[in-house]
């Protein structure tokens, strides 16, 4: 009996995605709910699970194809046995009436790569989001690494071990001769064979933009074209927050099981300031202004394929511990590539922390339809005047970019000053002042 695999619902307003990678090949066994492919949408990567246990009998779309929600992309034969060739598995599926109803629009692209006799080397070409990130970060060639995971697949530890071996000057083990991996091209900085390198040679490489990067580019440019964007700056003395963290970090972690970070203070400060300046938490829809009585904070997070902004829902009602746990979970899942469309949807205000990368000052771009974004930066000791004395203090520049169509300069400055006051005197966060 053959079961069709269709593109699942990808989230509100998302009607299609790009088939980024096949995680299984025809003839391979799959378990129920086991991912067989990865789809890229405008916001996140989504795994497509197998609805049943069996053998992947055929694929109906190629990597790189754009597929609509509900389109058939594969078939699972519940009666076939693992190890069958793609042709045998496909033949077994098409002899069953359940194979009827194939998608004619995708049928023409059915050209799955033939597996080799060595199952371990087949599996090396299957990279999970976490492994892809490790490959890009450490600039290693996945085709030269022997996988130790299930069915010979590469694991993150395999990549890290290969990177360490390369640093130590260890030998490079070339794999047995096989066709180039179609799903995981080597990173841009992967070394080329020495014999091909010529002195003074100049090279270029063209890589198609991912769907996520295309969407980010489009939305950021749209924000500049639509909003009357302006940025105002201030600086904040981080001494009080640093002292509070140093004093309570051990007790906080012992009680809540999470570290007390800086972001929790800023989220709480934004919630406090938004009560005084509600326009900063609003948006423009047509000729109307929408004011929100809740605060959903989009937190900019770096992911393997670009910047993503998961949303902390009802941040104004959350405790420090709840905020820190949510942020830590987002960071972990962003690295793994497991954030969902629902995690990214919505948001009424954005906080971007360029300080983690060493940024001293920047002008962040708002995330439509939001009307403002707060930019945090690195903390460094600078000379400031306190009570007539020049002293060194840990200072941070803050930047608020905002849509001047909705937010006046006075409101923007007031909002930023309220944040400064709350960070420099965290007691204000407790007494709602």
Compute the distance between CA of residue 70 and CA of residue 246 in angstroms, rounded to an integer. 52
Q: pLDDT digit string (tens) for 161-181?
A: 888 888 776 544 444 434 444
Q: Sketch out the chain's domains with CATH numbers.
A: 2-115 (2.40.50.100), 120-189 (4.10.320.10), 211-431 (3.30.559.10)
**Predicted confidence (pLDDT) at residue 224 exceeds the cutoff of 90:** no
Whether residue 188 has pLDDT greater than 90: no
Which residues does residue 21 pair with via DSSP β-bridges, in sequence order?
38
What is the phi-psi region of residue 341: left when phi exceeds 0, alpha when psi lies from -120 to 50, beta otherwise?
alpha
What is the per-residue pLDDT across 335-355, written as a single tens digit (0 to 9) for each? 887 888 788 888 999 999 988
- Please give the Cα distance from 26 to 86 (Å, whole number): 5
Q: How many residues are present in the chain? A: 433
Span between the terminal Cα atoms of the chain, in Å: 66
**What's the burial of 18, exposed, middle or buried (CB within 10 Å: 0-12/13-18/19+)?**
buried
Q: Residue 92 — very low, low, confident or very high, per pLDDT cuts 50/70/90?
A: very low
pLDDT tens profile 286-337: 999 999 999 999 998 877 766 788 999 999 999 999 999 999 999 888 888 7
Sign of CA dihedral 336, 337, 341, 347: positive
**Catalytic machinery residues:** 404, 408
Q: pLDDT tens digit string along 363-384?
A: 999 988 999 999 999 999 999 9
């Amino acid at each position: 009996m053959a079961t069709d695999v269709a593109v699942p619902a990808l989230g509100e307003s998302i009607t299609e995605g790009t088939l980024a990678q096949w995680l299984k090949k025809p003839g391979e066994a799959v378990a129920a709910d086991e991912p067989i492919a990865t789809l890229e949408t405008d916001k996140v990567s989504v795994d497509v699970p197998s609805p049943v246990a069996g053998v992947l009998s055929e694929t109906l779309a190629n990597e790189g194809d754009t597929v609509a929600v509900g389109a058939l992309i594969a078939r699972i034969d519940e009666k076939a046995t693992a190890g069958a060739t793609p042709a045998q598995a496909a033949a077994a599926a098409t002899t069953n009436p359940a194979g009827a109803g194939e998608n004619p629009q995708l049928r023409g692209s059915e050209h799955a790569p033939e597996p080799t006799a060595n199952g371990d080397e087949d599996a090396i070409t299957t990279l999970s989001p976490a492994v892809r990130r490790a490959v890009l970060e450490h600039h290693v060639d996945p085709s030269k690494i022997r996988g130790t995971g299930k069915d010979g697949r590469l694991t993150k530890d395999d990549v890290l071990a290969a990177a360490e071996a390369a640093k130590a000057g260890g030998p490079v083990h070339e794999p047995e001769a096989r066709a180039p991996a179609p799903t995981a091209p080597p990173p841009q900085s992967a070394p080329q064979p020495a014999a091909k390198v010529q002195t003074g040679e100049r090279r270029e490489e063209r890589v198609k933009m991912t769907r996520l990067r295309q969407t980010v580019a489009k939305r950021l440019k749209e924000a500049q074209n639509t909003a009357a964007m302006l940025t105002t700056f201030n600086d904040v003395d981080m001494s009080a927050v640093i002292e509070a963290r140093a004093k309570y970090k051990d007790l906080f972690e012992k009680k809540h099981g999470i570290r007390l970070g800086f972001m929790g203070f800023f989220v709480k400060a934004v919630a406090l300031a938004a009560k005084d300046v509600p326009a900063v938490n609003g948006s423009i829809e047509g000729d109307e202004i929408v004011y929100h009585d809740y605060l959903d904070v989009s937190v900019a997070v770096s992911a393997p394929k670009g910047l993503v902004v998961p949303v902390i829902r009802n941040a104004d009602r959350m405790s420090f511990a709840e905020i820190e746990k949510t942020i830590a979970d987002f960071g972990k899942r962003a690295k793994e590539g497991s954030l969902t469309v629902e995690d990214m949807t919505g948001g009424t205000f954005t906080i971007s922390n360029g300080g983690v990368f060493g940024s001293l000052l920047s002008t962040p771009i708002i995330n439509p339809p939001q009307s403002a974004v707060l930019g945090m930066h690195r903390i460094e000791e600078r000379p400031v005047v306190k009570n007539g004395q020049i002293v060194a203090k840990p200072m941070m520049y803050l930047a608020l970019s905002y849509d001047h169509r909705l937010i006046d300069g006075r409101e923007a400055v007031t909002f930023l000053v309220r944040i400064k006051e709350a960070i420099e005197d965290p007691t204000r966060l407790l007494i709602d002042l």
